[in-house]
Amino acid sequence: MGVAIPGVMGRMGKVLAQAVSEHEQLSLAGGTVRPGSEFVGQDAGALILGRRCDAPIADSLAAVPGVSGLIDFTSPELLPTHLDWCVANGVPAVIGTTGLNAEQKALIGAAATSIPVVFAPNMSVGVNVMLRLLKLATELVGEHSDIEVIEAHHRHKKDAPSGTAVRIGEVLADAMGWELDDVAVYGREGITGERPHRQIGFETIRAGDVFGDHTVLFAADGERLEITHKASSRMTFATGAVRAMAWLKGKPAGLYGMDDVIGLG
């Protein structure tokens, strides 16, 4: 299964290329970069893996031959173009792009009526296990706790809060029978008054080279429960993405999540 990686020479793109090359069921078909880049026409394997593997770098997906799967961790602005190409060519896609608005998420859903798509704000297996644990914890202690979400990422991350933090908030709110938009508070400043119970707070840290830390705090009178996931390498996300890509092979059109990939669905 030949996999194309948009943004292949970026920080995440390089790690994805390595992860694809190490998977026994996948091979690196090539990748894309922005038009005019010095990397156009070069071999991704030679630049990233230290060995040629006939994986050309191009300025469009149409110029990458032998693509039977796509893994996209680029940007919300580029996603529609990548989805259109996948639909037109019948290519399954794994989407790990974050910072999407409702319209962009709807485009993913529309594409999934024609092709199989795995979409998740975090491809880490550990994070998706954490989401399942959070649902259980919220059902058991949420009614008697104040709930806060604390997340930290590297200084280069462009969206806040992280897509993972937002997904965590959705799981928490759903377990409480709330709508996240009605109860989310993104940071606090000044005279905020007493904290109401019907609230989920988000605290965001952007510093250094933190790959991704997420903690949910359930604070009750006399005790605190904390559930934390810490990523120490981008390879954590890349490994989950290539696992999802291999899992998609032969699947019918539809929108899938990492729950489906790892058997939690």
Please report, for the domain that includes residue 72, its CATH number: 3.40.50.720
138 and 188 assigned to the same domain: yes
At residue 69, the pLDDT reads 98
* The pLDDT of residue 121: 85
- At residue 223, the pLDDT reads 97
Structure token digits, residue 215: 């903690």
Identify the CATH number of the domain in which residue 182 sits.
3.30.360.10
Residues 7 and 115 in one domain: yes
Q: Are residues 136 and 241 in the same domain?
A: no
Residues spanned by the domain of 23: 2-119+234-262
- Each residue's pLDDT expressed in tens, for the chain with a length of 265 residues: 999 999 999 999 999 999 999 999 999 999 999 999 999 999 999 999 899 989 999 999 999 999 999 999 999 999 999 999 999 999 999 999 988 999 999 999 999 999 999 999 889 999 999 999 999 999 999 999 999 999 999 999 988 999 899 999 999 999 999 999 999 999 999 999 999 999 999 999 999 999 999 999 999 999 999 999 999 999 999 999 999 999 999 999 999 999 999 987 6
217 phi, psi to nearest 5 deg: -110, 120
The per-residue pLDDT for 229 is 97
Strand partners, 230: 213
CB 162 within 8 A of CB 185: no
Residues 182 and 222 in one domain: yes
The residues assigned a catalytic role are 153, 157
Q: Are residues 138 and 160 in the same domain?
A: yes
Regarding whether 227 and 196 lie in a shared domain, the answer is yes
Do 144 and 205 lie in one domain? The reply is: yes
Looking at the fold, whether 129 and 110 belong to one and the same domain comes out as: no
- Taking the alpha carbons at both ends of the chain, their separation in whole angstroms is 25
pLDDT at res. 123: 92
DSSP secondary structure string for all residues of 37-96: -TTTTSBHIIIIISS--S-BEESSGGGS-S--EEEE-S-TTTHHHHHHHHHHHT--EEE-
Q: Are residues 222 and 252 in the same domain?
A: no
